[in-house]
Structure 1
Amino acid sequence: MADRTPKRLCTICARGGSKGLPGKNIRPLLGRPLLAHSLLQARASGLFDAVAVSSDSPAILEVGRAWGADLLVERPAAMATDDAGKLPAIRHALSIAEDRLGIHFDTLVDLDCTSPLRLPSDIAGAVALLEESGAGNVITGTPARRSPYFNMVETGPDGAVRLAKQPEGAVLRRQDAPPCYDMNASIYVWNVRGFTGHGPLIDADTRLFVMPAERSVDIDAELDFAIVEFLMQRAGGPE
């Protein structure tokens, strides 16, 4: 009988030109380069036929090689500028992987290099949600600390303040507001058949995999790095 297990590719995209925290993608975190944490989590999940690292930086690609990436993808300069979106780089990595490996992938997972607090079980849960639901893609998020229905406001041209999103009825406690989530930029999963590398990330065919706040910190600044390091140390070290 033919193997019906979906062919799965994991991509980890890491630019060399971070402005907020230079060199963050290979900065040591508890004795390992930041990139290595995502690589090891992908491996530990046991899900992937291949793991690819995409970067414009030779130093980052070398770290990817040293920590077990199956494929190193040199990202074109046009896809590595400050204004370039991430989706085209993921699409490029997918195309290169399929050409080089001779595999047509069914499921595509991108792990954000700057979100190292996820667990392999989070990756498995997000992939299962996609494959079992038949959704087009899955994003990850965590329960929002503030609600647009209760304690998030915006101002109009006249300076008047109003709730960011008007509830259907009175909301007297945040707990009574409709559930809202912060995207945590940790795991993205696509059915390859519908993945184009452009267009909206969220549409009617998107599903949400919920992760706890303690695994949902994205490193964008020095404070974020310190918080992640503290949380990892409290949890007993890297996975």
Structure 2
Amino acid sequence: MAGRTIATICARGGSKGLPGKNIRPFAGRPLIEHTIAHALGCAAVDGVYVSTDDERIADVARRAGATVPYLRPAELATDHAGKLPVIEHLVAHLEGAGEQIARIVDLQPTSPLRESADIAAALAVRRDADLVFSVAEAADNPYFNLVEPGADGWVHLSKGQGSGRRQDVPPVYALNGSIYVWQRAALARAATHGMWSVHAAVYVMPRWKSVDIDTLEDFDYAQWLAARRAGGMHG
């Protein structure tokens, strides 16, 4: 495939749920370092780039081996800025400097329990897809135990007619935010028209690897899972 496969990591300095979370110490090192290490440990990734508006995050990222080509413009660092325009901005900047980029693996810095092998596996899924994103099997299923109000004023099962057994209904997945593998042209299209404007496939991860840290409770739970993993309690 012509062009490089790069990893992008978007890490804003502001966080209302858990201030400073991207560089908060997690399992002995700043949280973002785990994701940088995952990317650097994947042989299929040719470069690791961090987009941030925060000089402290930039410094940690550079010391961990990532490239931080600039501090993100203020208009792309607000609570309301979409992530896809941020990634597109970074990729376009690199292309402006002469890079030939074929695929972009966007990695969420708040998903410290993924592994390099997960990134490699996601890159190998459906090479014909515009986008492959990581998911976990959902705890709830609209065919089984999700309900919603109907136009008649009563509550109904969200999908289907009801089943007594979970195995009788289709599996449904929850996006875990950990990994997004974009074909270059699809990223540009999605940055304008939205993520669901492209042909997508999934890479399924175990639920325990899928924790997304947004709050202190998430952080503590992920630390507990990491300690279990270090103790050899996960296969």
Name the residue aligned to 2:93: 96
Instruction: Give the Cα–Cα distance (whole angstroms) in 2 for the partners of residues 143 and 213 of structure 1.
Output: 7
C-alpha deviation, 1:215, in angstroms: 0.5
Say if 2:130 and 2:186, in contact at 8 Å, map to a contact too: yes
Evaluate the alpha carbon distance shift between residue 58 and residue 71 of structure 1 in structure 2; reply closer, same or farther with a 3 A threshold: closer
Deviation string, structure 1 residues 15-68 (Cα, Å, up to 9, x no partner): 111111110011000111011000000011122221100011111111111111
Where does 1:68-107 land on structure 2 (aligned, <5 Å)?
A: 68-100=65-97, 102-107=98-103
Name the residue aligned to 2:116: 120
Where does 1:132-151 land on structure 2 (aligned, <5 Å)?
A: 134-151=128-145
| Aligned counterpart for 1:108 among listed residues 96, 104, 107 | 104
Unpaired runs of 5+ residues, structure 2, are none
Name the residue aligned to 2:179: 187
Deviation string, structure 1 residues 75-104 (Cα, Å, up to 9, x no partner): 11111111111000000111122223x221
Name the residue aligned to 2:41: 44
Where does 1:1-239 land on structure 2 (aligned, <5 Å)?
A: 4=1, 6-100=3-97, 102-131=98-127, 134-156=128-150, 159-165=153-159, 167=160, 170-196=162-188, 197-203=191-197, 205-236=199-230
Say if 2:48 and 2:67, in contact at 8 Å, map to a contact too: yes
Percentage of matched positions with identical amino acids: 45
Instruction: Give the Cα–Cα distance (whole angstroms) in 2 for the partners of residues 184 and 84 of structure 1.
Output: 20
Task: List structure 1 segments (4+ residues) > 6 angstroms apart after TM superposition.
Answer: none
Instruction: Give the Cα–Cα distance (whole angstroms) in 2 for the partners of residues 38 and 127 of structure 1.
Output: 16
Instruction: Give the Cα–Cα distance (whole angstroms) in 1 for the partners of residues 214 and 158 of structure 2.
Output: 25
Query: Secondary structure at the residue paired with 1:138?
Result: strand
Q: CA RMSD in A?
A: 1.7
Deviation string, structure 1 residues 85-127 (Cα, Å, up to 9, x no partner): 1000000111122223x22111111000111111111100111
C-alpha deviation, 1:6, in angstroms: 4.9
Structure-2-length-normalised TM-score: 0.92
Instruction: Give the Cα–Cα distance (whole angstroms) in 2 for the partners of residues 183 and 43 of structure 1.
Output: 23
Unpaired runs of 5+ residues, structure 1, are none
Query: Secondary structure at the residue paired with 1:202?
Result: helix
Evaluate the alpha carbon distance shift between residue 120 and residue 171 of structure 1 in structure 2; reply closer, same or farther with a 3 A threshold: same
Query: Secondary structure at the residue paired with 2:70?
Result: strand
Q: 192-201 or 57-66, which moves further after superposition?
A: 192-201
Query: Secondary structure at the residue paired with 1:195?
Result: helix
